[in-house]
Amino acid sequence: MKHDFQSLAEVFSYATGKYAKRPAYGIVGQEDGRYNYAEFKEVCRRISRLLSNFGINPNDKVAIFSQNMPNWAVAFFSITAFGRIAVPMLTELSENEIRNILTHSGTKALFVSKKLFSKVPADLIEKLHIVIATDDLSILKAEDAAYTCDGRIKTPLSDDLACLIYTSGTTGAAKGVMLTHRNFCANILASWKAQPAHRHDVFLSILPLAHTYEMSVGMLYAFSVGAMTWYLSKAPTPAVLLPAFKKLRPTIMLSVPLVIEKIYRSSIVPTIEKSRFLKGLQKSFPSLLYWLVGMKLKGTFGGRIKFFGIGGAKLDEEVERFLAKAGFPYAIGYGMTEVAPLICNASPFKTHIGTTGIHAWALQVRLDNVNPATGEGEIVVKGDAVMMGYYKDYHRTRQVLSDDGWFHTGDLATVDKRGRYSIKGRLGSVIIGSSGENIYPEEIESVINNISGVNESLVVEKNGRLVALVHFDDNVLDWNYDDEDKFLAEMEKRKKDILDFVNAHVNRNSRIKEVQVEKEPFIKTATMKIRRFLYKDGGSQQKDGAQAQQKGESPAQQKGEDAAENK
């Protein structure tokens, strides 16, 4: 097996040659759109020729705006393996964000699913040379004047730009992260070192391909080893996932904490609490209980799962303890788009509660500006996986990337004697207390989220006070109430219970002063991280502005000029 690739063109050539007859991609429940590696190669070459015919030459930008499907991978390789630059876009982008990305990147062509085509501004469509539907690779729009038939492509070099990924993370304005062929190839090798995979493995993809976590590990790494990757035609709800697990019996999956945490709280905990037998085992023979529940959980995933990767946010420690005791093959990863993305990882059965593992293969990781009292410092990273910088943004690049190649993540962490890192929070989300102490809202939120009936929470600072924004499970509060007084009394009781519980379980500096109930779920990124910046100082105006954008309206249209200025 080869893992020391120098470019995505080399990955493409190697995999489609060595694994030609092996199945490559499919959609669960659909016969159409399946490819083996040889078929995949021919389709990519055909689409690359089509792009060349419409004047899409080496180093030109081509955007991908589509749900996960095999043709997403076709689009990506027909761009990158032939010297062009891919611009993946998340499906939940607003019209303004789509406009900003396509304009800022200078995109000349677009792959888009028919379902999302109407979201792209018509005036931008008119400026593109060609628009191709990912559903069936048909042409949705073509510019006759752009038809050049020059057929130009090139074999990309390691340091050539392969992908331009726009990200806002949880803290605001989008940045165009420039990732090279070397960056992605370094991540393929790091993935292999973390968890060897091979041609008989079955990947089930449930995270957005436009995010580097799924793109790099779930697509590129799987492709490089000749594995089979399946995509879902619908959202990954339990009703969709459970039959897929049973039918496909995946061996490798990537997920975010929210998925396994929901399984734990909505299925495992209630099952134990409702069973006198299981509660008896929990008290007298806990190891037997964990073994039984662990076997059941692995069976739910099809019985062959050997790697369940969790990344994108911190996993709740209570849930992690359960997974460890149950012998479930979970892995922990930490990364950022700017590092393509792996920074730290802990493979199954090498995890340690509360840590995110050791540094990824061939990557240098250290802590800067360490506080001697707490051992906390900022994680900085150096290696072949680190980005070139932010596109057309020298100032912000200089803020995070030093002259000698160290990338400043903005994440605070500690490291133990075995080199395992524990993430404490973002520099941007740390709250400075009245005495200058650091308060990490994520740690308080972890306490709140373990309270029965709480779906998710966010801790913010408001007028010098810590405020917990809480969203309850759907069955806790009936917002279609008939008796308003009874409803308000129930809400106040639950708020007081949360306040009392949290303040009894956190240190004095982290005690909250107020609980506010959020009727709607928090607005999140693609990896299900709450967009914290929208809830700053309570966040009503920022949040309303974001919701307005998602509906295609500006904040000014919803709240007037003041709201627009505040956003």
Tell me the CATH number at 363.
3.40.50.12780
**CB 349, CB 335: distance < 8 Å:** no
Rounded CA gap, 293 and 272, in Å?
9
DSSP state of 369: S
Mean pLDDT of the residues in the chain: 90
What is the number of other CB atoms lying within 10 angstroms of the CB of residue 552? 12
Residue 508 lies in a domain: yes
From 368, 391, 426, the end of a domain falls on 426
455 and 417, same domain (yes or no): no
The 10s digit of each residue's pLDDT in 321-362 is 999 999 999 999 999 999 999 999 999 999 999 999 999 999
Instruction: Say how many CA atoms lie within 13 Å of 439 toward its Cβ.
Output: 23
Residue 27 lies in a domain: no
Rounded CA gap, 168 and 234, in Å?
26
Q: What is the mean pLDDT of residues 405-431?
A: 92
* Residue 65 backbone dihedrals phi, psi, to 5 degrees: -130, 90
273 and 350, same domain (yes or no): yes
| Residue-wise burial string across 326-343, b where 16 or more C-beta atoms lie within 10 A, e elsewhere | bbbbbbbbbbbbbbbbbb
308 and 330, same domain (yes or no): yes
From 398, 426, 454, the end of a domain falls on 426
- % residues pLDDT > 70 (the chain): 92
3-state secondary structure at position 2 = coil
The 10s digit of each residue's pLDDT in 258-283 is 889 888 988 899 999 999 999 999 99
* Of 198 and 93, the one with more pLDDT: 198
Rounded CA gap, 110 and 119, in Å?
13
What is the number of other CB atoms lying within 10 angstroms of the CB of residue 229? 22
Q: What is the mean pLDDT of residues 50-59?
A: 93
479 and 456, same domain (yes or no): yes
> In the sheet that 364-368 helps form, which strands lie side by side, from edge to edge?
364-368, 377-382, 407-415, 421-426
Q: Is the pLDDT of residue 508 over 90?
A: no
From residue 228, alpha-carbon distances to 36, 225, 241, 432 in Å are: 9, 9, 17, 48
Rounded CA gap, 378 and 413, in Å?
6
Q: Is the pLDDT of residue 200 over 50?
A: yes
- % residues pLDDT > 90 (the chain): 72
Q: With bands split at pLDDT 50, 70 and 90, how would you rate the model's confidence at 442?
A: confident
3-state secondary structure at position 388 = coil
Q: Which domain holds residue 471?
A: 438-566
Q: With bands split at pLDDT 50, 70 and 90, how would you rate the model's confidence at 482?
A: confident
pTM of the model: 0.85
DSSP for 178-191 reads EEEHHHHHHHHHHH
Task: Single out the residue of 228, 236, 252, 210 nearest to residue 67, CA to CA.
Answer: 210
Residue 364 lies in a domain: yes
Q: Is the pLDDT of residue 154 over 70?
A: yes
Q: Which of 41-45, 287-291, 386-390, 542-546 has the lowest mean pLDDT?
A: 542-546
Cα 533 to chain centroid distance, Å, stands at 17
Rounded CA gap, 242 and 254, in Å?
16
Strands 358-359 and 364-368, by their bridges, are: unpaired
Q: How many residues can be counted in the chain?
A: 567
Residue 78 lies in a domain: no
The 10s digit of each residue's pLDDT in 90-115 is 998 888 889 999 999 999 999 999 99
311 and 373, same domain (yes or no): yes
**Which residue's structure tokens are 């996960």?**
68
From 394, 426, 458, the end of a domain falls on 426
| Residue-wise burial string across 423-432, b where 16 or more C-beta atoms lie within 10 A, e elsewhere | bbbbeebbbe
Residue 479 lies in a domain: yes
Q: Specify the number of domains making up the chain.
A: 2
450 and 561, same domain (yes or no): yes
317 and 451, same domain (yes or no): no
Residue 550 lies in a domain: yes
308 and 421, same domain (yes or no): yes
Rounded CA gap, 395 and 143, in Å?
36
344 and 442, same domain (yes or no): no
CA angle 544-559-175, nearest 5°? 50
Tell me, what's the pLDDT at 147? 66
Rounded CA gap, 178 and 509, in Å?
40
DSSP for 526-538 reads TTS-B-GGGGGGG
Burial of 38 (0-12, 13-18, 19+ CB in 10 A): middle
Q: Hey, what's the torsion of the CAs at 166, 171, 173, 176, to 10 degrees?
A: -20
496 and 522, same domain (yes or no): yes
* Beta strands, E only, 98-257: 109-112, 130-133, 139-142, 161-167, 175-180, 202-205, 228-231, 252-255
Task: Single out the residue of 373, 368, 382, 446 nearest to residue 411, CA to CA.
Answer: 368
Question: CATH number of the domain that 454 lies in?
Answer: 3.30.300.30
Residue 120 lies in a domain: no
444 and 558, same domain (yes or no): yes
Rounded CA gap, 185 and 4, in Å?
7
Rounded CA gap, 381 and 335, in Å?
10
Task: Single out the residue of 503, 521, 527, 384 nearest to residue 444, CA to CA.
Answer: 503
Residue 25 lies in a domain: no
331 and 442, same domain (yes or no): no
**CB 21, CB 226: distance < 8 Å:** no
Q: Is the pLDDT of residue 537 over 90?
A: no
Q: With bands split at pLDDT 50, 70 and 90, how would you rate the model's confidence at 1?
A: low
- For the chain, what is the largest distance between any 2 Cα atoms, rounded to a whole number of angstroms? 77
Rounded CA gap, 173 and 179, in Å?
19
3-state secondary structure at position 355 = coil
Q: 521: cis peptide before it, omega within 30°?
A: no
Q: With bands split at pLDDT 50, 70 and 90, how would you rate the model's confidence at 544?
A: low
Rounded CA gap, 446 and 235, in Å?
26
